[in-house]
Structure 1
Amino acid sequence: MILSASRRTDIPALYADWFCNRLHAGYVYVRNPHAPYQISHIDLSPDTVDMIVFWTKNALLMEDPLEEITRLGYPFYFQYTITPYGSDIEPGLPSKQSIISNFIRLSSLYGKERMVWRYDPVLVNRKYSMAFHKEAFANMCALLAPWACRCVFSFIDPYPKAMRRSGGQIDRLVSPQEMQLIAAEFSHIAATHRLPLMSCCEAVDLSPYGITHSACIDGSLIEKLLGCPLQVKSDPNQRAGCGCVQSIDIGAYDTCTHDCLYCYATHSPKTLVHNLYLHDGASPLLVGFPTPKDKIIKRVTKSLKNSQLSFDFLP
């Protein structure tokens, strides 16, 4: 099983202690976002969890928990988003200098092959122009390229609620011509730093610039990190063009306090405040506790490791 932690919220930044508590308990409850009285019981034993994929914009509070996670025998890698935006776009984050330093520390401790840098999403407005992105990407590459296994970028998606919430700061999409120009610049800069550059779920063809499609839950990367083949399938629950393999996400929407203007995972500030109030680090659920109305279903999970070793993984 591949564990996603999480597309729906920033567990490393906000819920690291709760996550470690769940690993020690050996299971976690996940409430179905589309059927709120249905809860899945997920086994978290090391024999079942093949890989943990952490999604974060701030892993400063994750350094100590990672020592315990490693001691318990759980392999992991990071999808770590670091953009050049200020507090006007990402008001809930600490300084980018501290975040970059954290990325470098984690890479030095656990290896660059476990660190995927995401420059995501690329938005263009009067302040964050194409010229701005060219300079910012070059400066960030100089700092992060030695410590990342790849860089993944994407262009902002048209989430209506996010665009309305932005107060006019996100007032348009990136045009196809702008996408091509930005991709060409990014490709040249990344190549200068010998940093593999990939795009995430983009319909536009960027292959003329040597940019291939990436996958966040990347079966090939996981096989490489584990040193063995996996029996994985494409994730049918993701949008068209997504290359991710199946995983189980243990997060919950409306639980992230970063307040990024482009975010799709926070639908209601009122619900967010309520969920933060209900969070308890001792609960098997990220938000609140199970109620008598809830139906708890134990989900069938197993290791995806292929018992028949491929020649590709022989020493």
Structure 2
Amino acid sequence: MIISASRRTDIPAFFGDWFINRIKEGFTMYRNPMRPTQVFAVSLLPEDVDAIVFWTKNPKNFLNKLRYLDGYTYYFLFTVTPYGKDIEPGIPSKDEVIQTFIELSNIIGKKRVIWRYDPIIVNDKMPLSSHKEKFEELCEKLSPYTQKCIISYVEFYSKLADKLNKINAKGLSAEELYNVFSEISKIGKKYNLSVETCAQKLPVEELGLKKAQCVDGDLINELKREKGFGNDIKYKKDKNQRKECGCVQSVDIGMFNTCRHFCIYCYANHGKDSIIKNAQKYDVNSPLLCSCLDIEKDEIRIKGKESSWKLDKEAVQGGKLNSTESYGQLWFDDSNENLSEKLDSWLEKKVLEYIKNYTTSCYHK
């Protein structure tokens, strides 16, 4: 199982302590964003995790926590753009971000730090000529510390349209996009960077570009081989992502409306009010990020490799959690997995133990 941490928020920047507590505890829980009352528990034990993919714009405060990940295969997708506070109000100075990029690469190696120049936004303040200039400046500074740069053009999602219109972001034709990608690709090659495009509909192969797999099964297998971690795995395409997305399947443990970078182009935040509300529920020791378990309302499921199964809520509320022998009574058998595998599941027992001792809630009943 591949853990994505996270497309939905910047865990290394804001929730590093929480994440390491989850590593120490061996499991985490997350809400289904399409059905928020459905909560999944997933193991974070090294033997259950194929890899962890971190998505971040500022992992500075996470660098001293990397020692806890020695038993894992992992890499970082690190976004560095040329934008100012008008577009990325919560990002530190570019000099500080670049220094953090360099420090991270020096610690874990440049193969495991992938630069994202993403999203590309063209407007009056940042025309294509400025992108070419700024991209080359960043290449000069970052290319010794990474092997790959992933690029994409900004998506005009309906909920972002007003914000992007305020900065006069331009929607480009296919020909104009080709021009953007072509110019950036030429600069990347000059610095021996592999430039790949993320979830773009254009046939960019004609420009000599690859289509990216941000959650990259081939890279994960390569990194696992280097650590001596078993045989290669043929990972499936992630059907929950956009058609053009090349990522393989992963489990995202983040939560929307929790990132405090407040980037104007972000699809994962709806507004500051939602972020402030969720921040009030942040508990560094909770299995759930910025959320509290509601035993009465939440459907709790154990996430297996290929399926999941549901906790019998009435059994939990009835207090039938006293012995290992009772575990078999606590699950609706609504999957094809063998019951004996459930009974032996360390994760099931851990979740049941947590629920048994769970005495506080954000929800006052």
Counterpart for residue 86 of structure 1: 84
How far is 1:166 from its partner? Answer: 4.2
Counterpart for residue 61 of structure 1: 61
Query: Which one-letter code corresponds to 2:40 in the other structure?
Result: S
Counterpart for residue 196 of structure 1: 194
How far is 1:167 from its partner? Answer: 5.9
Seen in structure 2, the aligned counterparts of structure 1 residues 171 and 188 have a Cα distance that, compared at 3 Å, is: closer
SS state at 2:84 partner: coil
Q: C-alpha separation between the residues in 1 aligned to 2:273 and 2:158?
A: 18
Query: Which one-letter code corresponds to 2:24 in the other structure?
Result: H
Counterpart for residue 135 of structure 2: 137
Counterpart for residue 293 of structure 2: 290
Q: Deviations over 1:110-163 (max 9, x none)?
A: 111101100000111000100000000111001111111200100010112222
SS state at 1:232 partner: coil
2:243 to 224, 240, 244: 240
Measured on the aligned residues, the alpha-carbon RMSD in Å equals 1.3
How far is 1:44 from its partner? Answer: 0.8
SS state at 2:166 partner: coil
Counterpart for residue 185 of structure 1: 183
Tell me if the contact between 1:123 and 1:174 (Cα under 8 Å) persists in the aligned partners.
no
Tell me if the contact between 1:203 and 1:241 (Cα under 8 Å) persists in the aligned partners.
yes
Greater relative contact order structure (CA < 8 Å, 6+ sep): 1
Seen in structure 2, the aligned counterparts of structure 1 residues 37 and 252 have a Cα distance that, compared at 3 Å, is: same
SS state at 1:267 partner: coil
How far is 1:209 from its partner? Answer: 2.4
Does 1:220 pair with 2:223? no
Query: Which one-letter code corresponds to 1:87 in the other structure?
Result: K
SS state at 1:278 partner: coil
Q: C-alpha separation between the residues in 2 aligned to 1:283 and 1:170?
A: 41
How far is 1:175 from its partner? Answer: 2.7
Seen in structure 2, the aligned counterparts of structure 1 residues 166 and 156 have a Cα distance that, compared at 3 Å, is: closer
Structure of greater Rg = 2
How far is 1:177 from its partner? Answer: 2.5
TM-score by length of 2: 0.80
SS state at 1:161 partner: coil
SS state at 2:118 partner: strand
How far is 1:170 from its partner? Answer: 4.4
Tell me if the contact between 1:190 and 1:196 (Cα under 8 Å) persists in the aligned partners.
yes
Counterpart for residue 278 of structure 1: 281
Query: Which one-letter code corresponds to 2:65 in the other structure?
Result: P
Q: Deviations over 1:179-217 (max 9, x none)?
A: 122222112111111111111111112223211101111
Name stretches of at least 5 consecutive residues in structure 1 with no aligned partner: 303-315
How far is 1:301 from its partner? Answer: 3.0
TM-score by length of 1: 0.92
Q: C-alpha separation between the residues in 2 aligned to 1:249 and 1:193?
A: 33
Tell me if the contact between 2:147 and 2:192 (Cα under 8 Å) persists in the aligned partners.
no
Q: C-alpha separation between the residues in 1 aligned to 2:285 and 2:168?
A: 38
Query: Which one-letter code corresponds to 2:189 in the other structure?
Result: A
Counterpart for residue 8 of structure 2: 8
Q: Deviations over 1:9-34 (max 9, x none)?
A: 00000000000000101110111111
Query: Which one-letter code corresponds to 2:263 in the other structure?
Result: C
How far is 1:258 from its partner? Answer: 0.5
SS state at 1:28 partner: strand
Query: Which one-letter code corresponds to 1:157 in the other structure?
Result: E
Tell me if the contact between 1:266 and 1:272 (Cα under 8 Å) persists in the aligned partners.
yes
- The count of corresponding residues between Structure 1 and Structure 2 is 300
